Copies of this chain bind each other. A is one copy, B any other.
Amino acid sequence: MNKRQFKDGVYSELAKITKSLANPHRLEIIELLAQGDCPVEQIAEQTHLSVANASQHLQVLKAAQLVDVDRKGNFIHYKLANENVFQTWKALRELGVERIAAVEKLVKDFRKSKFDFVSVTIDELVKKIDTGRVTLVDVRPESEYKKGHIADAISIPHDQLSQRLKELPKRTEIIAYCRGPFCVFADEAVALLRKAGYKASRLEEGFPDWKLQKLPVEVSVN
């Protein structure tokens, strides 16, 4: 094998991986799987795809070895092959927000129009936890909370929040978090909480970002 063949080989393999990521639905699937493993049907539902279509996208990710499968009873669970997959998605996400005005505009317009408040970064949250009292609320679906959540966070899924406000303290600051910067659950939660007189803000990033930094995590085993 000569030099050129070697280079062509390497770059074409890397392009294959990149291609497997280069689709809006597959990026959304990666973000979803970063919350924990998940059967096909749930992925299809969450991403608004048909099951057959979701399955096909998962096959593409599997062929690129970005996801692994696990059979659990009647269901087949998919999961990210390793941390590096989320890391790469994070790099792409950040590149997008920084480089592409369209993405930043989408995010800002949507957020600012409906939810006019600032968010807290992971670093800021760590300081807050160290120095003061904070109530952490995980507003993702309970199944995702169970698969892993920030230590000491309580689970109140976004669609149950209005009925469960009493569980939250009025005095201490509340930080809501969800899947990631493009997930709206936390924004909706904060809007609701503020309207009800609570002192609340959202975490800018999501649970997978917290976990990637090796910060304390808890799992609810079934």
Q: A residues engaging B (CB < 8 A)?
A: 1, 3-4, 6-19, 21-28, 48, 64-66, 81-82, 84-85, 87-88, 91-96, 98-103, 106-107, 109-110, 182, 184
| Given contact pairs A21-B18, A91-B87, A96 touches B13 in the complex (Cβ within 8 A) | yes
Closest chain B residue to A31 by CB distance? B11
A95 touches B100 (CB 8 A): no
A14:B96 contact, CB within 8 angstroms:
yes
Check B182–A10 contact: CB distance below 8 A.
Answer: yes
Residues from chain B with a CB closer than 8 A to the CB of A106 are 6, 9-10, 13
Question: A-B pairs with the 4 shortest C-beta distances?
Answer: A11-B24, A91-B91, A18-B22, A22-B22
* A91 to B184 Cα, complex, angstroms: 27
Rounded to whole angstroms, the CA-CA distance of A31 and B35 in the bound complex is 32
Contact of B88 with A91 in the complex, beta carbons under 8 Å: yes
CB distance from A56 to the nearest CB of B (A): 16
Q: Pick from B22, B84, B93, B95: contact of A99, CB below 8 A.
A: B84
- Decide if A92 touches B48 in the complex (CB within 8 Å): no
Q: Is the beta-carbon distance between A10 and B103 smaller than 8 angstroms?
A: yes
